[in-house]
């Protein structure tokens, strides 16, 4: 009897303590599964581009490099109707070359970013604003290394085009930003929305586990109790 009263008291106070986090976890979990993840990521907005290199184009371009060059990899692929060779160096920098001539390609400017979005995104012709974010200054809904152009569409979608890669790096729909907010709420990290090992999450998860365990112990003790 004494143990049951003690457990009931513990369960009551633990319930008050973890009630709000449990409600937030349930709410955020529901919000994150309301739409298919492909739709959240904006994959339905992407226009598939031909990837095969035309006949006669080299599989890789012989770009002269210094013997001590920190080159990491070299890739030749079709990029918006043109064969482009990309050099990815060990320090994370990218260089692009025309695969047919070997001429270096300039970083993507606003006009080219707009053309890329118009070709690669459904509704991409309706750009309402364009802004270049330097490396390390990306907005919260991008969170990737490298400089990128943010092109805002009329429907609220943000399309990010890499300044150096020339590729559409990310598509952030309005629902993606809602999803991202609830993800941050789910892991209790609204600032960066990346840290799933923060003290708040670990602490409340531990208390929630204890609450459930106490309830499981109380269940058989209360089953046979007479009114």
Question: Is residue 211 predicted with pLDDT exceeding 90?
Answer: no
The mean-pLDDT minimum among 43-52, 65-74, 140-149, 212-221 falls in: 65-74
Angle between the N-to-C axes of helices 174-186 and 2-32, in degrees from 0 to 180, rounded to the nearest 10: 160
pLDDT of residue 217: 76
Q: Summarize pLDDT for 73-96 with one digit per residue, the tens.
A: 778 888 988 889 888 887 788 889
> Is the pLDDT higher at 215 or at 192?
192
What pLDDT does residue 19 have?
85
Q: Please tell me which of 2-11, 93-102, 137-146, 150-159 the model is most confident about, judged by mean pLDDT.
A: 150-159
What global pTM score does this model have?
0.82
Residues 37-66: pLDDT tens digits? 999 999 999 999 887 776 655 545 556 655
Mean pLDDT, the chain, rounded, equals 85
State yes or no: pLDDT of 71 exceeds 70.
no
Write down the pLDDT at residue 100. Answer: 82
pLDDT at 24 > cutoff 70:
yes
Q: 160 falls in which pLDDT band (50, 70, 90)?
A: very high
The pLDDT score that the predictor gives to residue 224 is: 57
- Tokens matching residue 183: 């993800």
Of all residues in the chain, the percent with pLDDT exceeding 90 is 48
């Amino acid at each position: 009897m004494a143990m049951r009263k003690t457990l009931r008291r513990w369960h009551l106070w633990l319930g008050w303590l973890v009630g709000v986090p449990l409600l937030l976890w349930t709410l955020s979990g529901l919000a994150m599964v309301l739409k298919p993840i492909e739709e959240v990521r904006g994959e339905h907005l992407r226009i598939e581009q031909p990837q095969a290199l035309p006949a006669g184009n080299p599989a890789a371009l012989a770009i002269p490099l210094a013997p001590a060059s920190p080159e990491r990899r070299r890739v030749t692929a079709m990029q918006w109707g043109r064969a482009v060779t990309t050099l990815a160096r060990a320090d994370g920098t990218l260089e692009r070359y025309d695969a047919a001539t070997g001429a270096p390609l300039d970083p993507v400017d606003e006009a080219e970013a707009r053309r890329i979005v118009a070709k690669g995104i459904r509704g991409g012709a309706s750009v309402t604003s364009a802004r270049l974010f330097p490396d390390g200054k990306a907005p919260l809904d991008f969170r990737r290394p490298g400089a990128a152009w943010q092109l805002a569409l009329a429907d609220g979608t943000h399309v990010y085009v890499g300044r150096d890669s020339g590729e559409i790096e990310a598509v952030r729909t309005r629902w993606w930003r809602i999803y991202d907010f609830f993800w941050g709420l789910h892991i209790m990290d609204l600032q960066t929305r990346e840290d799933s090992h923060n003290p708040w999450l670990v602490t409340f998860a531990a208390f929630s586990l204890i609450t459930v365990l106490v309830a499981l112990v109380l269940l058989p003790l209360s089953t046979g109790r007479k009114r």
